[in-house]
A and B are shown apart, each in its own frame.
Chain A
Amino acid sequence: MSLKKQILILVSIVLAFALLDVGIYEGLTKRYFNSTNKEMQAKSIEVSKYLPFENDSEIVKFDSKNKLTGDLPTVDGAAALYLVFSAFVNAVYPKESVEFDGENFTDKSKLHYTNTRGAYKAVVDGEADIIFCAKPSEEQKQYAKDKNVELEYVPIGREAFVFIVNANNPVDNLTVEQVRGIYSGKYKKWSEFGGEDYYIEPIQRNAGSGSQTSMIAFMNGEEMKYSVLGFMGKPIGFSFRYYVEGLVANGKIKMLSLNGVYPDKENIANGKYPVASNFFAVYDKNNENLNVKKFIEWILSDEGQDIIEKSGYVPLEN
């Protein structure tokens, strides 16, 4: 074989692998780059940014005169509500009740954060006295039932369940039925709603997460399907409004209006946005710690509701 031919073959092989690598990078790798920091990636929220009793914390600071004393309830909850229940603790717990080792809360700490799935398990197992979450999934209800634990759900505020797309997507509004149709496989392309001629990739979250449970409820009995061709198109996802707008604040995504109503605080409060729902303080009905009810009563008072509003959520009185 001539030297020229040998070099040609070698260069061709190198180019073939290079093209394959570029194809994988452009088609797959790039879509999974996470724009948030490591703490956010690991915990869905920057726990250290919203710690109670820290001067540089970004929670709402309020020093209540109604401090809890004695047996303090251990609290836990969802990522989207962490800054709220951290602010509650900051307002009515003593400083020494919270211990954070730089990465996690210690076992002795009265404030914990294990997100929705961990929190529902913790309240049933007796590791948490009060958790702050959206409604539980069927599995979480069953887990409580299996352990003979009856949970009490006290509404403490309201939040919108929102649908998100890339900021460059020309579609700004969908109806509730259209979103259900997308997730059930009835609609396949963005062009069906005046958008680009791309397939729709309906993204779901992991089972048991607060937003996935809310999405199942939103579907009203319709089964959700994954779109095989959606992988080549452009996605739609779901979350809670303040998590998208306040906690992550990624300028490259946008929230969709539903039935022509944008999910801002005003439209949640006046009931115009169609999928606003309560979030709850949840506790075991047989919990004998008197501070559990006392704490929740304070959360429902003007002070507690003011913290909810100033944290970016919608209080109950609205």
Chain B
Amino acid sequence: MKNKTFYILIAVVCVLGVLSVVGLMAYTVYLHDNCSIISYIANRG
């Protein structure tokens, strides 16, 4: 694999990885804002 192609692939994988982390964190914040005290305790078994 050419170095240029390799670096493009690394960039793409990193961007997708960061997007997945940001998306998951955003989803977590959304859940946090809507989570009741009872659900939270129930989830922490």
Chain A residues at the B interface, C-beta cutoff of 8 Å: 1, 3, 6, 9-10, 13-14, 16-17, 20-21, 24-25, 28-36, 40-42, 44, 164-168, 201, 203, 205, 234-239, 244, 248, 250, 252-253
Contacts and interface: CB of A to CB of B under 8 A. Distances in A.
B10 A31 contact: no
Given A21-B24, A32-B31, A35-B42, 13 more contacts: A24-B25, A30-B43, A31-B43, A32-B39, A33-B35, A34-B35, A34-B39, A164-B37, A205-B37, A236-B41, A237-B40, A239-B38, A253-B42
B17 A32 contact: no
A59 to B, nearest CB: 21
A164 B38 CA distance: 8
Contacts of B1: 3, 6
A20 B6 CA distance: 23
B3 A1 contact: yes
Contacts, number: 112
> On chain B, which size bracket covers the interface?
20 to 34
A35 B39 CA distance: 6
Most buried by A among B9, B20, B31, B39: B39
A236 B38 CA distance: 10
Interface in B1-45: 1, 3, 6, 9-10, 13-14, 16-18, 20-21, 24-25, 27-28, 31-32, 34-45
B36 A9 contact: no
A235 B9 CA distance: 43
B13 A32 contact: no
Contacts of A250: 38-39, 42
21 contacts: A1-B6, A16-B17, A17-B13, A17-B18, A17-B20, A24-B21, A29-B24, A29-B27, A32-B43, A34-B34, A34-B36, A35-B43, A36-B36, A41-B34, A166-B41, A167-B42, A203-B41, A239-B37, A250-B42, A252-B45, A253-B42
A14 B43 CA distance: 29
B45 A168 contact: yes
